[in-house]
Structure 1
Amino acid sequence: MTTALIYLVVMVLVAAVVFLLASVLFGRGEELPPLPPGASPTRLPESGVTAADLRTVRFQQVVRGYKMSEVDWVLGRLGTELEALHARIAELEAGRDAPAEPEPR
């Protein structure tokens, strides 16, 4: 009888520890209110996206989501590329708009 009581107490203690560990890891079950229709937690300006905009974009995390370090690396790389492209376009447009110098004879 004593052995069965000890097993029961140990099982209750193990169940309590597992429950506490699970509630610490997974939260207490609160849910955030749903976003309004058409809303997104990821923010970008409607036009004129800059490299800084891409560097600050963050995505929602989900259980079966993405590896954050990889996506952040890609966004940083795209931001650098976009910045270089905008600089090159501005350089080419400035060269096109500059008045042509007359050629010496």
Structure 2
Amino acid sequence: MIRHIVLIRFRPDVSEAKIAELFEELHRIEDKLPGLIGITSGRSDSPEKMERGYMHGFVADFSDWDGLQAYQDHPEHQALGAKLVDHAVDGKEGILCFDLPVDV
């Protein structure tokens, strides 16, 4: 399994309602890709308080690297990715992606 981890530093002027709307759009892709196992999204509630401004994010689990690639190539993902960049602090600089192979 591949765990795709995305952390986002949204601009201060982006409301929680707008962030929820963006995450709702993200979840609409769940039933459209066979290699996508599921998506979890939200705001950090960490007691460690080490987010360094990355207060929102999501995790998408894929069956394999081909599933992740299908997601990355999907037009709805690309459109949403552009919106996330538009709403992040300093564009792409405000988004951190990390792909982790996970043994299950």
The interval holding the TM-score normalised by the smaller chain is under 0.3
Q: Which structure has the greater CA radius of gyration?
A: 1
Which structure carries more helix by proportion?
1
- Structure-1-length-normalised TM-score: 0.22
Which structure carries more strand by proportion?
2
- Structure-2-length-normalised TM-score: 0.22
